[in-house]
Amino acid sequence: MSLDIWMRENPLSYIWIGSYAVAFLIFAIEIAMVKHKRKITLQQVRLMREADESEQE
């Protein structure tokens, strides 16, 4: 069945899969990337702090 016929027979599935699922997937990826970035940055800052402390000792 071609996409044209399928989308006209199943408009709500077309809208959900094509638009909303894609949009929510993008939001989920963005949140995951932001959380990952924070985790990495915190690790870097902790490492720097530990290095500074061991230097002072």
Partner 1 sequence: MAINWFKYSAPTTFYGLAGKLIPWFAISAAVLCIVGLYIGFVVAPADAQQGEFYRIIFIHVPSSILSMFLYLIMAAYAAMGLIFNTRLSSMMASAIAPTGALFAFISLWTGALWGKPMWGAWWVWDARLTSELILLFLYLGFISLHASIDDPRRADRAAALLAIVGSVNVPIIYFSVQWWNTLHQGSTIKFTGTSMHIAMQQAMFTMLVACWLYAITVTLMRVRSIILERERHTKWITELAEVKA
Distances (CA, A) of 12 to 3, 7, 20, 28, 48: 14, 8, 10, 22, 52
| 41 belongs to the binding site for partner 1 (CB under 8 A) | yes
What 8-state DSSP symbol labels residue 13?
H
Q: Which residues, at least 6 apart from 14, have a Cβ–Cβ distance to it below 8 Å?
A: 6, 7
Q: Which of 19, 28, 32, 51 binds partner 1 (CB under 8 A)?
A: 19
Instruction: Candidates 9, 28, 32, 44: give the one binding partner 1 (CB under 8 A).
Output: 44
Q: How far is the CB of 1 from partner 1 (least distance, A)?
A: 15
Q: Please identify which residue in 9, 28, 51, 52 interacts with partner 1, judged by CB under 8 A.
A: 52
